[in-house]
């Protein structure tokens, strides 16, 4: 299935589910930003992870993945029961495999079809020790699948952690799982380690730096000169001030990116999660960097204006002297004209 087809199917499914909701029931909605993020996905795994992160239930993702299920026949699917089961945000308990259809055959053949089910997602993990669960949560965070500011409790196998782990189990199922791998957990451990070493990219990513428009910059500088000294700038003056604006804009962007990096915690650990080391760390890191490096806000326009003021300071002085001289002469002529004959 093409990624675009999968996204189209999930949109139609969400429309249908919302059309069946009774008055007062919550609608399953995606914001414009969330939908644009999902649209950036280049593969179904990534698109699925975004949907789960944005609160779309696993059973609806599975339904969209099932090419044998026609979107036109959704009326025959018992969505009301599914919605009731998922009301508390938990993944639907059941025997449905995670991330694949019931009839899916893995690339490894019939010997690797011991798929993890939605029951396994809870039964195989919820009873693990607090430290073990926190360790898995830390790996999910490092893999870019579970956000540190998400609503989960360290060491507890709650719905948010389940949604994140369902992405890993879906990946494992699509690759194929043997009976031994399922018993030992080797398959999901390997997949989780791979994602931790190669984290999912963050979408939407930071915008690329775009320098100010040259025509706009030139017009602004010309206006400064005409207003202040009643002339157009010399070519060297225009170039100098334009370079100042470009340079300051680049510095403002670079500083913003550097501060943004301080909000991204690296190498989260299970011990750290249980100790409560994560949460407001990002604000503290940013403030510490600002204080230690003495950073201040960079205003490219204000700094360009400052450079302009320095550039024309002497010229303004001469213009002021000339104006004073003209006023003095006018005053003398006026006094002469007022002398009695």
Number of H helices, E strands in the chain: 16, 0
pLDDT higher than 70, residue 92: no
Please state which of the ranges 134-143, 205-214, 291-300 shows the lowest mean pLDDT: 205-214
CA 207 to chain centre: 10
155 Rama class: left (phi>0) / alpha (psi -120 to 50) / beta = left
pLDDT higher than 70, residue 104: yes
> What are the structure tokens assigned to 310, written together?
């320095």
Q: Name the pLDDT band for 116 (thresholds 50, 70, 90).
A: very high
Please state which of the ranges 63-77, 104-118, 147-161 shows the lowest mean pLDDT: 63-77
Cβ 19 vs Cβ 44: under 8 Å: no
Please state which of the ranges 81-90, 172-181, 183-192, 201-210 shows the lowest mean pLDDT: 81-90
Q: Which residue has the tokens 């949560």?
A: 137
> What are the structure tokens assigned to 84, written together?
């009731």
Task: Report how far residue 166's alpha carbon sits from residue 319's, in angstroms, rounded to the nearest whole number.
Answer: 74
> What are the structure tokens assigned to 20, written together?
């069946």
Q: What does the buried/exposed string (b/e) look like for 260-276 if buried means 16 or more CB atoms within 10 Å of the residue's CB? A: eebeebeebbbebbbee
pLDDT higher than 70, residue 159: yes
Task: Return the H-helix or E-strand segment holding 55.
Answer: none
3-state secondary structure of 83: helix
Q: How many CA atoms lie within 13 A of 285 on its CB side?
A: 15
3-state secondary structure of 2: coil
């Amino acid at each position: 299935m093409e990624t675009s087809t999968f996204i189209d199917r999930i949109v139609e499914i969400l429309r249908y589910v919302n059309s069946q909701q009774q008055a007062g029931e919550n609608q399953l909605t995606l914001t414009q930003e969330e939908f644009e993020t999902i649209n950036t996905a280049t593969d179904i795994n990534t698109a699925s992870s975004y949907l789960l992160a944005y609160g779309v239930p696993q059973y609806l993702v599975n339904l969209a993945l099932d090419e044998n299920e026609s979107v036109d026949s959704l009326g025959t699917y018992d969505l009301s029961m599914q919605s009731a089961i998922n009301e508390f945000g938990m993944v639907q308990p059941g025997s449905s495999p995670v991330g694949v259809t019931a009839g899916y055959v893995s690339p490894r053949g019939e010997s690797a079809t011991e798929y993890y089910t939605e029951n396994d997602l809870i039964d195989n993990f919820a009873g693990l020790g607090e430290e073990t669960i926190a360790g898995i949560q830390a790996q999910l965070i490092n893999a870019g699948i579970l956000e540190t500011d998400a609503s989960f409790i360290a060491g507890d196998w709650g719905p948010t952690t389940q949604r994140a782990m369902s992405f890993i189990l879906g990946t494992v199922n699509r690759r194929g799982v043997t009976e031994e791998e399922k018993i030992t957990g080797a398959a999901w451990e390997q997949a989780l380690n791979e994602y931790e070493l190669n984290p999912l990219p963050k979408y939407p990513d930071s915008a690329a730096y775009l320098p100010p428009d040259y025509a706009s910059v030139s017009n602004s500088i010309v206006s400064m000169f005409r207003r202040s000294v009643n002339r157009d700038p010399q070519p060297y003056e225009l170039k100098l001030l334009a370079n100042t604006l470009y340079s300051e804009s680049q510095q403002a962007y670079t500083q913003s990116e550097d501060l943004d990096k301080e909000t991204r915690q690296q190498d989260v650990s299970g011990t750290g999660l249980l100790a409560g080391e994560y949460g407001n760390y990002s604000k503290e890191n940013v403030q510490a960097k600002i204080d230690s490096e003495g950073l201040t806000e960079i205003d490219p326009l204000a700094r360009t204006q400052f450079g302009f003021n320095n550039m024309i300071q002497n010229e303004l002085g001469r213009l002021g002297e000339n104006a004073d001289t003209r006023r003095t002469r006018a005053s003398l002529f006026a006094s002469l004209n007022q002398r009695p004959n």
